Chain A
Amino acid sequence: MADITAASKPPGRGFFRRKKTSDENNLAGYLFISPWLLGFLLLTVWPVTQSFYLSFTDYPLIADPTWIGGANYDRIFTSDKTFIQSLKVTFTFVLIVVPLKLAFSLIVAMLLNRQMKGMSIYRTAIYFPSLIGASVAVSVLWRNMFGVDGYINGVLQWFGIQGMGWISHPDTALGTLITLDTWQFGSTMVIFLAGLKQIPNEMYEAASVDGASKIRKFFSITLPMLSPVMFFNLVLEIIQSFQMFTAAFVITQGGPVDSTYMYAYFLYEKAFRHFQMGYASALAWILLVIVAILTAINFLASRYWVFYESGGKK
C-alpha cells in the first residue's frame, strides 16, 4: 500500500525510524522496557479494562454494578447540561492556560538560565508557588490572595480600583483559576531549563563567530534544539490541563454558578459524591478520546516543527 505521508517525508523524520528488520533487537528492547511493561500488565490493564466495562453499567460504587448498555453515554450526550457546561469550562481553561503557561515558563527559563549572583535563590523563589500547589494550606493561601479582603484587592486599592470577590463571582472565577494555574508554571519551566542546559555551548560559540545576533541565535539554535522538550511540554500541559482537578476541588467546588465546573471535578463528583461510578467511567472514557485525538493531532503536527538531533537531519 502506498503510504503518502511516508513517501513525502524523509524516512528519518518519523518518530521511530524503521530500517531493516535485521536492525531489530527484540530481546534488548523488551528487557529495557520490561519495568514499565510489567507494571502495565500487573497494575494498569485490569483497572483500565474494568473502568471501560463499568462505563456500560449502573454502578453505585458501594453496591455491585448492573449492565445497562450505552445508557450512560446516551444520557451524557443527550440530556446532561452539566456535561456541556463542564466541557465549555474545561476547553476555555485549556485553550488559555496552555499557551500562556508555555510562553511564560519559556521566558522565565531563559531568564534563569544565566550566570548571575544569587541565581540559585531566585530560581528556588520562583519555583516556590509550584511547591505549595499540593499543600493543604494552599486553599487558605489562595483565598487570602483573591478574597474580597485579599491581597490583590489591597494592591488594587492603591491604584484606586474597587476590588471584588475574584473567586466568588461567576464572571471572574475561571479567570482567577487560570491565573493561579499559570502562576504555578514551575514544572514546565524546570523542564525547559533542563532542555536549555542540554544545548551544547559550542553551537552558540560557533554562531557567535559567524556574527549571529542574539535573536538570530534564539531562532536558529535555541528554538529548534529545544523543540523536543517544547513538544513534550505541550503534550503534557494539554493532558494535565484537561485533568485539572485540585483548584476546582479545593477552592471553588466548581462554583459559583458552575463557572469553574472543570471536567475532572465533574467526574469526581459523579463518582465519589453522587455514587454514580458507571456514569463517571463513561465520562472518563469520553475525556480519554478527546485528549487522545488532540495528542494524535499534536504528534502528526510535530513532524513539521519538532527537530530531533538523533533524527539524522542535515
Chain B
Amino acid sequence: MKKTWSKSLLFLMLAFVLVLAACGNNGGNAGGNGGNGGNGGDAGNGGNGGNAGGAEELTMMWWGPEERHKATLEAIDIYEEQTGISFQTEQLSWDGFWQKLPTLAASKSMTDVLQMDAAYINDYVARGTLADLSDIDLTGVVDDAVIENLKINGKLYGLPISQNAQGLAYNKAELEANGIELPKEGWTWEEYFEWGRTAKEKLPEGKYAIGDGASAWDWINWYQTGNGADPLFTPDGLEFNLDKDLFMEFHQTFADMREQGIVPPPEKTLSFLENDPTADPMASGTVMTRGATTGSVSALETMMPGQVAVINLPVGEEGGGWAQSTIFLSVSADTPNMEESKEFVKWFITDMEAGKALGMTRGIPISPEVYAELEPNMTTGDKLGKELYDIAVPHALPFYAIAAGFTEWVDTYESTMEGVMFGQTSIEDAYEQMNELGNRIAEQNAAKQ
C-alpha cells in the first residue's frame, strides 16, 4: 500500500498521457475556441467592439531606434488632429518585434497597422495574416512597375515605405593607405575574386580584402541569379532550384581562397558579427569589404566615420544585387477597421506633412516629392545610403526574400556550409543535402496548397 513518490511520478505521467491521447480531438475544438476568444478580447481592448462604422481608434506597432519612434509619434499626432482618430501604439526593438509578432498572430490579436520586413513578409502572407492592399491608389507616388514587383501572387500585402538596395561597402581609407586600387563600378564576379587575391598581397598579415561568403544563403542566390539561373526559390515557396554547376564553382572558388589564406580562416569568419564594433568584419579592421544595404550602411559609417565608401555587388551576365523596398506598412487581415487602416497607411507614405515629420527615419522615402523636400537635410550616413542606391539600380536584379517555409533551408544551409568551411563535409555532399531539403520543402508547400 505504501506508494513511493517516484512510482507515483511514473504512474502519473502514464495516466496523463493516456487521458490526453483519449481526448485529443476535443482538444482541437478547444484550441479553435481559444483563438476566437482571443479575437473577441482584442476587439474589446481596441474599444471598437460594437462600433462598426467609423473607427475612433487604431492600433499600430513598429520597430526601430528612438528617432524613428519620436518621428512616427509626431506623424501620428498630425493624423489624429486631421481626422479625430486616436491611436494606440506599440514601439519595439527589432528582436522584440519579431519575437512578439508570432504570438500575436497566433492569438489573432495583431495590431490594425504594422510595420513589415521583406525577410518575413512571405511567411505572414502565406498564413493569411495580412490584408490585401492592391486597391490603394498610389499613382504618382510609387511606380507601377515597382508595385507589380512587390506583389505576392498578384496581391499587394504591404505598402513600400522607403527605397533600399544591396551593394558592398569598403574601407576606402585603409585600401588607399596600402596603395590598393579601389573597386570599379560594374565589376564582375571574376574581377571581384581577382581583386581579392591581388589586394591581399598588399595588405598586412591578418587583414583580408574580401570575406568568406560560403555560409550566407543570399550570396549563393546572387551568384546563381547573376549568372542567369533561376532563383533558389519562388516567393510562394512552390519551386526550388539549386544550380549544381554554379554551386560547385562558387564554393570551390571560396574553398581555394580559404586554403590560400585569401579569405579569413573559418573560425575567424564565424566570429564576425555585423554592426558590433568589436566583432564587425570591417569595423574591427580585419576585412576591407562587406555586404551593405542603403538601410544598414549608415550604421557602419557610425562605427568607422569617414572611412567607408560603397560599390555595387559583383555582377554576372544578368546583373547583380537588388534595389527595392524592404520595409512595408501592412494591415492585419483580422482588423475590424479595414477602411480606416487603409486610409491611414496611404496617408503615411504619401502625405507631405507626414513625410516631413518622419524624415529619413525609415530610409529614403518612396515618394519622390517627399524625398525632394528632405534631400537638403541628409546626414553623411543617409548620403552614403543614397549613393549605394544609385550605384545599385543600373545593375539590379529582382529582390528575393526567404520564401514561406524556407527559413529552415536557410538555417540548414548555414550550418552545412560551415561544415564545408571546416572541412567536415565535401562540397558535393553539401549540394546533395541542400538540394534534397529544398525539394522536400517545396513539395510540402505544394501539398498544403
Contacts and interface: CB of A to CB of B under 8 A. Distances in A.
A128 interface: no
Nearest to A143: B279
Interface string A4-24: 011000010011101000000
Given A272-B99, A292-B13, A50 B276 contact: no
Contact of B20 (A18, A49, A168, A254): A49
Given A52-B20, A144-B278, A299 B31 contact: no
B407 A53 contact: no
Contacts of A164: 267
Residue from B13, B27, B284 with most neighbouring chain A CB atoms (10 Å): B27
Given A49-B27, A255-B414, A274-B408, A62 B124 contact: yes
A16 B415 CA distance: 49
B138 interface: no
Contacts of B278: 140, 143-144, 147
Given A14-B4, A53-B20, A61-B102, 12 more contacts: A6-B2, A52-B27, A61-B105, A140-B278, A165-B268, A168-B269, A169-B270, A257-B424, A273-B411, A274-B407, A274-B411, A293-B10
A147 B266 CA distance: 13
B70 to A, nearest CB: 22
B308 to A, nearest CB: 22
Contacts of B32: 64
Interface in B47-78: none
Contact of B105 (A62, A148, A292): A62
Contact of B270 (A165, A289, A299, A303): A165
B422 A256 contact: yes
Interface of A: 3, 5-6, 11, 14-16, 18, 46, 49-50, 52-54, 56-57, 60-65, 67, 82, 140, 143-144, 147-149, 164-165, 167-170, 254-258, 261, 269, 272-277, 289, 292-293, 295-297, 299-300, 303
A81 B31 CA distance: 31
B305 interface: no
A169 B31 CA distance: 44
B270 A272 contact: no
Contact of A62 (B13, B127, B408, B419): B127
B398 interface: no
A94 to B, nearest CB: 19
A50 B266 CA distance: 43
Contacts of A272: 99, 102
B141 interface: no
A165 B4 CA distance: 50
A147 B271 contact: yes
B306 interface: no
Contacts of A149: 284
Contacts of B412: 82
Contacts of A303: 4
Contacts of A61: 102, 105-106, 127
Residue from B30, B106, B279 with most neighbouring chain A CB atoms (10 Å): B106
Contacts of B17: 52
B119 to A, nearest CB: 11
Contacts of B102: 61-62, 272, 275
B6 interface: yes
A252 B305 CA distance: 29
Residue from A15, A57, A62, A149 with most neighbouring chain B CB atoms (10 Å): A62
B129 interface: yes
Contacts of A169: 266-267, 270, 422
Closest 3 CB pairs between A and B? A53-B27, A15-B5, A299-B6
Contacts of B25: 67
Given A147-B271, A255-B415, A257-B424, A63 B20 contact: no
A205 B299 CA distance: 66
B44 interface: no
B34 A254 contact: no
A67 B424 contact: no
B427 to A, nearest CB: 15
Nearest to B105: A62
A82 B30 CA distance: 32
Interface of B: 1-6, 9-10, 13, 17, 20, 24-25, 27-28, 30-32, 34-35, 99, 102, 105-106, 123-124, 127-129, 266-271, 273, 276, 278-279, 284, 405, 407-408, 411-412, 414-415, 418-419, 422, 424
B353 to A, nearest CB: 34
B324 to A, nearest CB: 24
B422 A170 contact: yes
B407 A273 contact: yes
A16 B32 CA distance: 41
B34 A15 contact: no
B129 A62 contact: yes
A257 B418 contact: yes
Nearest to A292: B13
Contacts of B405: 274-275
Contact of A168 (B31, B271, B276): B271
A164 B271 CA distance: 10
A114 to B, nearest CB: 36
A296 B8 CA distance: 9
27 contacts: A3-B2, A18-B1, A18-B2, A50-B30, A52-B17, A53-B20, A53-B24, A53-B31, A61-B127, A62-B102, A62-B123, A140-B276, A147-B271, A148-B267, A165-B267, A165-B270, A168-B270, A169-B270, A255-B414, A255-B415, A255-B418, A274-B407, A274-B411, A277-B106, A292-B13, A297-B6, A300-B4
Nearest to A302: B6
A145 to B, nearest CB: 11
A217 B278 CA distance: 51
A275 B441 CA distance: 13
B303 to A, nearest CB: 14
A89 B131 CA distance: 42
A56 B279 CA distance: 43
B267 A257 contact: no
B123 A143 contact: no
A295 B271 contact: no
Contacts of A16: 5
Given A273-B407, A275-B102, A63 B6 contact: no
Contact of A299 (B5, B123, B268, B271): B5
Given A255-B414, A300-B6, A65 B13 contact: no
A299 to B, nearest CB: 4
